[in-house]
Structure 1
Amino acid sequence: MRPRAKQVRSHSSRKVMSMLNPASSTRVAEVRPVTGAWRSAGPLFLLLLAVLLALYWDTASSMVEIWLRSETFAHGLLVVPIFAWLVWRKRGALSNVSPQPCLWGLAALALSLAGWLAAEVAGVQVVRQLAFVASIPALVIAVLGWRIAWVIAYPLAFLFLGVPMGENLMLPLMNFTADFTVGALQLLNFPVYREGTFFELPSGSWSVVEACSGLRYLISSVTVGALYAYVSYRSIWRRAAFIAASFVVPIIANGFRALMIVLLAHYSDMKIATGVDHIIYGWVFFGVIMLLLFWVGSFWQEREAEDVPPEAGSAAWRPVSAFRTAAVGIAAAALLAGPLLYVAQLAQRQLPPLPGLVLPVEPGAGWTLDQEVALTDWRPTFQNPDRETTLQYRRNDEVIVVHLAWYGRQRQDAELINSGNYMIEQEHDVWSNVGERILPVTPHALRETELRSSRLRLLIHDWYVVGDTPTANGVIAKLLFARNLLLTGDDAGYAVVLYTKKLEDRAKSQALLREFAALLEPGLEKAVSP
């Protein structure tokens, strides 16, 4: 009778503990033996995944190359192993659901591949990569079914964090950091002179460059935060709230980091926080902030519950027709091959005849071609243009330089809209980017950039021309390229860059460039004609 009484007390104790800690009663999925449905659908999915990687290897390898060369996106090297670990943790739940091929998955796969094709035609690498990653969940739904996709929905969504994206946040983050730092210094009664992302204190000069934007911190924080939210919470709202916090907190923290570095340098007479230690202090500060974020988040921590898909009872174990599984596999393989066949046809296009890019010697209003004494040796950087020229014009003491870069056919590493095309590279030895903005002027918008060196300041106006349509927006230019290629088979385009010495009166320099652009544009169509 004693063992019986002990057993009762043990059962009662477990019941009390279950009431005190509901999470401890979470159902734990047991791993079932592999069923016949898994034996057929599992290898089929792995085969189609291998086909996807083989056919779209250029897209997959482009992500890996960015992970390897960019510190900002180096986290991508960990995304796939973490995804595999997250799926492995769900092996018990997965074994309790039988694969059920789903036609909606084929529709999702077709939509993903259509997005890849559109991005390939337009030459938008990040959309190409996003569409490639989106094809993986689509394959899961098509071959294994939506119930299995539900079980590993979060890990599948986590894969998208491996796509190198977010560089368009660089400039807004730089401006926010500069605004925050200068505003805080002014609140502390420091005399500050600001110009764009540059500011000066009595103790020294500072600039918020790309490395100070906080983009690396932000991307790392969101990635780690998404992982922490998944393993720490089971509520969708708690996960979403923590991910949102991992996005907002590093942006604000980066402002404090920049302020801390400026104050350290100021009070040390510019002896600390100005060299390598500048970066070290930044990462140490970021590490402390992340630890604090995790510590606060731990107060709402929950044990992870088993992800049981809706209607996962007997309906989840319906027998699956071998014919249906095979038909879905064949359809998926055909969809995977389709876009590449069309791209192969596009690749056969010949480069159109090269234009002369000959501009008038005297465009009017007293301007004449002058190649004797160059205003500057600076040139905008364009990657592998099919034709490029730089000409300088003078009117008395006024000088304007014209740079044209023409691309007859958009292809990888030789396209008008590309991250390799820029006014100035990051952390240049001579030139610094003071700032840039879009000017909504007539007859079309312009992008204005200001560069400065120790001897000269340049004001730059530039825009793109796709077909016969000018635009200063890279996204619109990409869409125009895709439209022209699909409708006419032609995707030629060129960039126009005008620059002059920036005067004390900025408006006068702007008016000078716009006046010259009005004289130049009527002759551009002839200049780019073969």
Structure 2
Amino acid sequence: MDFRTRLPRVIGIVVVLAAAGFVFHDALGLIFTSWEQPEYSYGYLVLPLAILLFVNRLNGQDLVIRGSWGGVALVGASLLLELGCELSNVRGVQPYSVLLFLYGGFVTLFGWRKCVVFAVPLAYLIFAVPLPRFIFAEISVQLQLISTDLGGAILQALGYSVYSEGNVIDLGGYRLQVAEACSGLRYLFPLLSFSVLVAFLLKSRRWIQIFIVLSSPPITVLMNSLRIAIAGIAVNEAGPAMAEGFIHAFEGWVIFIGCLLVLLLELWLLRLLGCRIEIESSALSLSRRPVFSVTVQSWQRTIAATALLALAVGTDIALALFPPDRPGPVRLQTKLEYFPTAIGTWRGTRQTIPAETIETLQLDDYVLTDYVGDDGATVSLHVAYYGHQDSTAAYHSPRICIPGGGWKIVSLTRRIITVNGAAFPVNLVLIQNGTARHLLYYWFDEQGERLTEDYAVKLHILGNALRLRPTNGALIRVLTPLDPAETVDTAAARLGRFLDDAVPILQGAMAEAAPSPAWGR
């Protein structure tokens, strides 16, 4: 193929890539920004490794440009996802639009069968994309709790007196908190990507490859728990200052190298047991130029996908020139700090949330009041209000927060209770910490609609955002302690009596919301 024949195709490729870069610039920015975070700092290596794997797979391939309409559908879906994230300002899943576009482009050109041949390099690109924040938070909390319990168990096995409470290890004179940074995710993600790469390069049985990948999470948890246990030993032997210094010194690459050594030890033990363990290093080598052929049978599907991309470019330009008016944050006309402390026969004492906690939760307004009834029973009311909810500011689900505070969720069920004669959906949660038990109801108020499912709330927020409607909402929780001999039904009846008095006032407070001036794009 001479230069004159090749030039139009090169220009076409450059134009398509430039158009894709224009459409997906926000999503690409989120991906590159995530690589600056410790949990995803390995992302810079993923793309070169995926390209190496892809190029080596090219050797001996006969690529036929005919493709599949399914690929065109994937390209269309990726563009719709990107546009939806732009309009709604919900960014958590936006980076995945880039992946969907790449996969769709490949299928559009070469069809589904070639996806099997290039499955590993294509799938490996997933590690370059950050998890949505709500999934990241849930995994992080669970890893914190597991690491805390295991770290405390190691200390107890060594003869130290400790007590684990949520993500805190009580060492007597010092409380060692296992924060999000200590959850182990900054080791899990790179180790998982490395183990997938090793499994692919292994000339071994399939079960060994699967075992190598599945062993990454336990290795991460074990090493992180060991780090926490050593920090606990440092507290007991040399004081809190030594522990803080140790935690900062033994994080990041130090622990990751330890995880790698355990993974290599695992491979050595498998080989010692007679398993075939050989690394196909040529898969990452560019010692020779890959030999492959490209045959064009039809550009029809490629032209259709390119037309969709051109339409997306036009839509993006139109949105830039004529940005839609998004509703601004919805402020309550009466601030919740004036929420009554006297409700029926209940008399309350208002509590405050520390400023740093408010900043972390990004609350716009809140109520935290402990009420006492005429019979001496106690009910606590908490309302967390957000004037605007998106991927950066939204409620923190009690399912995640409760275990982090040291409480165990004994049961969580969704119920329809009766409040003032009307059906009222709530989550009923029984929690326990030692001998102490609490019963709580919680639900989400989304512009007057009561929801109990976390993901239903997220879909509700997304739907409102796409329709350029307000996304304000609140998490509402009522809680009461149980006496040692008290039944759940008795405590539930107490919460029901409180809600009969409180719900009309709550509905009035939420209904008084007034929108702020609209935002531009």
Query: For 1:479, which of 459, 462, 468 is the aligned residue?
Result: 459
Q: 1:139 to 1:513 in 2, by over 3 A?
A: same
Pairwise CA distance, 1:72: 1.7
Query: For 2:26, which of 58, 62, 84 is the aligned residue?
Result: 58
Q: How does 1:34-433 map onto structure 2 within 5 Å?
A: 44-68=12-36, 70-90=37-57, 92-93=59-60, 96-116=62-82, 124-146=90-112, 149-165=115-131, 166-201=136-171, 204-233=174-203, 238-263=208-233, 265-266=235-236, 268-270=237-239, 274-281=243-250, 284-297=254-267, 299=271, 300-303=277-280, 318-321=295-298, 325-334=302-311, 347-351=324-328, 354-357=331-334, 361=340, 364-367=343-346, 377=354, 380-381=358-359, 388=365, 390=367, 395=372, 402-407=382-387, 410=389, 413=392, 415-417=393-395, 433=405
Q: Is the 8 A contact 1:265 1:273 kept in 2?
A: yes
User: Partners of 1:305 and 1:234 in 2: how far apart?
Assistant: 15
Which entry has the higher C-alpha Rg, 1 or 2?
1
User: Partners of 2:328 and 2:113 in 1: how far apart?
Assistant: 49
Pairwise CA distance, 1:182: 3.0
Structure 1, residues 156-188: CA drift from partner, whole Å, max 9, x if none? 211111222233211111121122233344445
Aligned to 2:472: 493
Q: Bigger shift: 239-248 or 115-124?
A: 115-124
Q: Is the 8 A contact 1:104 1:141 kept in 2?
A: yes
User: Partners of 1:507 and 1:208 in 2: how far apart?
Assistant: 34
User: Partners of 1:503 and 1:159 in 2: how far apart?
Assistant: 51
Pairwise CA distance, 1:278: 2.8
SS at match of 1:416: coil
Q: Is the 8 A contact 1:464 1:496 kept in 2?
A: yes
SS at match of 1:445: strand
Q: Is the 8 A contact 2:447 2:510 kept in 1?
A: no
Q: Is the 8 A contact 1:178 1:208 kept in 2?
A: yes
User: Partners of 2:116 and 2:19 in 1: how far apart?
Assistant: 23
Q: 1:124 to 1:490 in 2, by over 3 A?
A: closer
Structure 1, residues 179-226: CA drift from partner, whole Å, max 9, x if none? 223334444554433322333346754333223321211112112222
User: Partners of 2:157 and 2:168 in 1: how far apart?
Assistant: 18
Pairwise CA distance, 1:132: 2.6
Q: 1:370 to 1:138 in 2, by over 3 A?
A: same
Pairwise CA distance, 1:340: 9.0
Pairwise CA distance, 1:285: 4.6
Pairwise CA distance, 1:248: 3.1
Pairwise CA distance, 1:130: 1.9
Which amino acid in structure 2 is aligned with residue 479 of structure 1? L
Q: 1:318 to 1:287 in 2, by over 3 A?
A: closer
Q: 1:133 to 1:525 in 2, by over 3 A?
A: same
User: Partners of 1:152 and 1:35 in 2: how far apart?
Assistant: 29
Pairwise CA distance, 1:108: 2.0
User: Partners of 1:402 and 1:202 in 2: how far apart?
Assistant: 31
Q: 1:210 to 1:324 in 2, by over 3 A?
A: closer
Pairwise CA distance, 1:446: 6.6
Q: Looking at both structures, which has the greater relative contact order when contacts are Cα pairs under 8 Å and sequence separation is at least 6?
A: 2
RMSD: 4.9
User: Partners of 2:68 and 2:2 in 1: how far apart?
Assistant: 20
SS at match of 2:365: strand
User: Partners of 1:233 and 1:205 in 2: how far apart?
Assistant: 48
The answer as to 2:445 corresponding to 1:465 is yes
Aligned length: 467
Aligned to 2:516: none
Q: TM-score, normalised by structure 2?
A: 0.70
Structure 1, residues 103-159: CA drift from partner, whole Å, max 9, x if none? 221022223344455666776533222233221121122135446555443222111
**Which sections of structure 1, spanning at least 5 residues, go unmatched?**
1-32, 308-314, 425-431, 452-457
Q: 1:177 to 1:514 in 2, by over 3 A?
A: farther
User: Partners of 2:14 and 2:204 in 1: how far apart?
Assistant: 29
Q: 1:37 to 1:525 in 2, by over 3 A?
A: farther
Q: 1:517 to 1:137 in 2, by over 3 A?
A: same
**What percent identity do the matched residue pairs reach?**
19
Q: 1:42 to 1:98 in 2, by over 3 A?
A: farther
User: Partners of 1:479 and 1:344 in 2: how far apart?
Assistant: 29
Q: Is the 8 A contact 1:392 1:400 kept in 2?
A: yes
Q: 1:411 to 1:291 in 2, by over 3 A?
A: closer
SS at match of 2:176: strand
Q: Is the 8 A contact 1:446 1:471 kept in 2?
A: no
Q: Is the 8 A contact 1:391 1:401 kept in 2?
A: yes
